[in-house]
Structure 1
């Protein structure tokens, strides 16, 4: 009788022991899965480096787009300002005696000194957006000075432009030839009064 009672007690003890072990294993597995998820959530995202948005704006439209891009990319902004800035009269494209018209006709006049033609901490930028209005089917030439004076090696360069009607044309490829360095992507032309949401959608489509 005593032997039967001891056998029964031992069986009950083993059953409870196995149940406790199973509960512990289950808790460990649950903890492991939770830990993995938490670690993944905290893992740093691999970045593409800093972004710089460089632009020349004659009428303010390109400036607006540049600021939209900078906001969407958390990038820095560099405005290109001619040392001898253009007046409204200088930018009269219909007047053959205006400054911009003379510069169009005489390529030698297009070497436009800038107040600042190099960005601070240039080496720290991996992506560079370059914005400009379209003048006679090409990039406004104040941008040329910046492109010629900087080394784009190791950088991804993305042109963008604003215009009332003209397309991007060959402006991006011409700037790429001037630079001679960098990985240049196909640019984007925006209408003069483009919305911020449209610009943001384009930036997101670049997957950068």
Structure 2
């Protein structure tokens, strides 16, 4: 597959503000996953879609982890602030998220369940602080059995600002980097 022949979307959830990065709580003006999403955008010329909840997660990092754990425990589906109306026009969906409790935030599950991705190619990417992709890729495959799910990319949060080579190499391996 060559990205030049396919219309692609970069759909992602990213949380700025109080985050755990490299062993410390820091304030991020732009969430780590958004940094990677924008790199992918630059290298693929895909459209960006920020997956956002109706009710924002708490500003405090620890409170957010508690909410995220409760959502996972109850298999919650947080409501989305907006929905993508033209998902049918995309062939490739880059799906980005932070790894929360070993998988995607439940908000991303809501996005997947609300989107018909049958016949689409899904390319996962995540940011994390040690747990990589966790079980997120298998969760995506379970939720989207009529989609092709490609090799995912996991970038440690503390490394995102210097991840251009990792992102470029991954896209190149997948044949997804837009030719100049």
TM-score range, shorter chain: 0.7 to 0.9
Kindly name which structure, 1 or 2, has the bigger radius of gyration based on alpha carbons: 1
Task: Give the match for residue 138 of structure 1.
Answer: 103
Whichever structure has more helix as a proportion of its residues is 1
For 1:56-71, what aligned pairs fall within 5 Å after superposition?
56-59=13-16, 60-71=31-42
Query: Gapped runs of 5+ residues in structure 2?
Result: 17-30
**SS of residue paired to 2:99:** strand
Tell me the number of residue pairs that the alignment of Structure 1 and Structure 2 aligns. 158
Task: Give the match for residue 53 of structure 1.
Answer: 10
1: CA distance, partners of 2:117 / 2:70: 30
C-alpha root-mean-square deviation of aligned residues, in Å? 2.1
1: CA distance, partners of 2:3 / 2:125: 26
1: CA distance, partners of 2:130 / 2:8: 28
Contact 1:62–1:133 under 8 Å retained in 2: yes
Q: Which has the higher contact order (CA 8 A, sep 6+)?
A: 2
Query: Gapped runs of 5+ residues in structure 1?
Result: 1-44
Residue 104 of structure 1 and its aligned partner are, at CA, apart by 3.4
Cα distance change on mapping 1:137 and 1:93 into 2, 3 Å: farther
Whichever structure has more strand as a proportion of its residues is 2
| Alignment TM-score, normalising by the size of structure 1 | 0.69
